[in-house]
């Protein structure tokens, strides 16, 4: 591998001159510059980015840490973060937290490979996060409530979302409402469930444990949970799925059992993913302001990077998307 030293030698100039020429510094003559550039291309020289970062000791990169690189649901959010980063001349790189202890994510968090991070990965522990956040490495966390020095939260009010969804069902006259849950380790799931409980309680309704099933936030899980509910015999009049994916799985299960949504049973989801308005019936759901959340997270990270004071936590609202999967209960 050719180094800048080789380039300098071949071009017959000093090391520093080569460096200047390669970086387009104005103080090197055009002639010298060409000579250097030529030497470089002749040697197939490639700059070593790490050496540069090491020297400059800042990376102009922010890391976006996701549970799973392939999760398609955060597209708007990523987009908006990316816009902010780009506008500030920073790179955004995404890494997965799969692989636990020695995942790429943890490497980025622990080893100063970026100037800051935005985290949306429930499998990264609070401790790791708190340990890694510092003035030199601010972190914005979007999937839990936790704060610490240089560690702030941007989240969507999931409790309110859960409450709103359930409340809506209740207002439509539903009295028996199931909750299909995500992983209990998920902060969002937990809060949605709390909101559900609050709405129930407020209306003097009781939660029936047989109507709290777990679907792990995935479509297949929603499908299976729903199947199970159907097999139990008695059906609630409405079901609140912890996210749209599970709701879509549920819709399929109902269809297979010839239970019509919304005529026999009402269904509400959570997230408002793209698919939601296309499924049949179009899914009534709670919309999260993903764009706003992403944008806010990006801006806040840069503010911290600039050394500005920022509030430790931000909470965004939600919106009910009324579509076709819920109708008034027939009492």
Residue from 55, 101, 233, 330 in contact with DNA (CB under 7 A): 55
Contact 178, 188 (CB under 8 A): no
Choose from DNA, a second copy, none: what does 100 bind? Cβ within 5-8 Å by kind: none
**What gap in Å lies between CA 285 and CA 73, rounded to an integer?**
15
Residue from 26, 27, 111, 331 in contact with a second copy (CB under 8 A): 111
Rule CB under 8 A: is residue 2 a binding residue for a second copy?
A: no
- CB under 8 Å to 177, separation ≥6 — which residues? 166, 169, 170, 196, 200, 205, 211, 236, 237, 238, 239, 240
Rule CB under 8 A: is residue 134 a binding residue for a second copy?
A: yes
Applying CB under 8 A, which part among 7-15, 67-75, 151-159, 173-181 lies near a second copy? 67-75
Give the shortest CB-86-to-DNA separation in angstroms: 22
Sole residue written with tokens 């912890």: 242
Rule CB under 8 A: is residue 92 a binding residue for a second copy?
A: yes
Choose from a second copy, DNA, none: what does 3 bind? Cβ within 5-8 Å by kind: DNA
Residue from 9, 37, 43, 47 in contact with DNA (CB under 7 A): 47
Choose from DNA, a second copy, none: what does 238 bind? Cβ within 5-8 Å by kind: none
- CB under 8 Å to 79, separation ≥6 — which residues? 291, 294
For residue 231, the SS3 value is: helix
Give the shortest CB-274-to-a second copy separation in angstroms: 7
Choose from a second copy, DNA, none: what does 176 bind? Cβ within 5-8 Å by kind: none
**What gap in Å lies between CA 225 and CA 231, rounded to an integer?**
10
Site string for a second copy, 257-296 (x = CB under 8 A): -----------------xx--xxx----------------
Rule CB under 8 A: is residue 78 a binding residue for a second copy?
A: yes
Put residue 60 in one of left, alpha, beta given phi > 0 → left and psi -120 to 50 → alpha: left
Choose from a second copy, DNA, none: what does 20 bind? Cβ within 5-8 Å by kind: DNA
Distance of alpha carbon 15 from its chain centroid, rounded?
44
Structure tokens at 13: 């100039």
SS3 of the chain: helix, strand, coil, percent, to 5: 45, 15, 40
Rule CB under 7 A: is residue 3 a binding residue for DNA?
A: yes
Rule CB under 8 A: is residue 15 a binding residue for a second copy?
A: no
Q: What is the DSSP letter of 100?
A: G
Applying CB under 7 A, which part among 46-54, 88-96, 247-255, 311-319 lies near DNA? 46-54
Query: Which residues 170-229 are close enough to bind a second copy by CB under 8 A?
Result: none
Rule CB under 7 A: is residue 41 a binding residue for DNA?
A: no
Per residue in 225-261, is it b (16+ CB within 10 Å) or e — as a string?
A: bbbebbeeeebbbbbbbbbbbbbbbbbbbbeeeeeeb
What is the binding site for a second copy (CB under 8 A)? Answer: 1, 44, 46-54, 59, 61, 64, 68-79, 82, 86, 91-96, 98-99, 103-104, 107-108, 110-113, 132, 134, 136-137, 274-275, 278-280
């Amino acid at each position: 591998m050719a180094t800048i030293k080789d380039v300098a030698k071949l071009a017959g100039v000093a090391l520093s001159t080569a460096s200047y020429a390669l970086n387009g510094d104005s103080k090197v003559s055009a002639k010298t510059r060409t000579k250097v550039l030529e030497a470089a291309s002749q040697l197939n020289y490639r700059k070593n980015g790490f050496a540069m970062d090491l020297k400059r000791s800042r990376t102009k990169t922010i890391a976006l840490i996701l549970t799973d690189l392939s999760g398609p649901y955060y597209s708007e959010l990523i987009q908006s973060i990316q816009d902010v980063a780009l506008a500030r001349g920073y790179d955004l790189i995404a890494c997965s937290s799969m692989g636990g202890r020695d995942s790429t994510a943890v490497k980025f968090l622990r080893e100063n490979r970026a100037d800051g991070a935005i985290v949306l990965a429930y499998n990264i522990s609070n401790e790791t996060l708190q340990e890694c956040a510092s003035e030199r490495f601010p972190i914005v966390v979007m999937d839990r409530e936790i704060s610490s020095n240089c560690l702030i939260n941007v989240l969507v009010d999931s409790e309110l979302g859960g409450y709103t969804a359930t409340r809506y069902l209740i207002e439509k006259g539903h009295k028996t409402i199931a909750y299909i849950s995500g992983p209990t380790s998920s902060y969002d799931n937990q809060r949605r469930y709390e909101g559900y409980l609050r709405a129930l309680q407020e209306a003097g309704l009781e939660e029936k444990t047989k109507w709290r099933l777990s679907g792990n936030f995935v479509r297949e899980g929603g499908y299976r949970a729903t199947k199970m509910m159907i097999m139990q015999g008695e059906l609630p009049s409405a079901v609140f799925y912890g996210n749209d994916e599970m709701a879509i799985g549920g819709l399929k299960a109902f269809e297979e059992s010839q239970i019509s949504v919304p005529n026999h049973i009402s269904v509400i989801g959570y997230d408002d993913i793209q698919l939601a308005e296309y499924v049949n019936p179009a899914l009534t759901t709670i919309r999260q302001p993903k764009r706003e959340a992403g944008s806010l997270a990006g801006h806040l990270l840069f503010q911290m990077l600039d050394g500005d004071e920022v509030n430790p936590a931000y909470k965004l609202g939600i919106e009910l998307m009324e579509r076709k999967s819920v109708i008034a209960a027939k009492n």
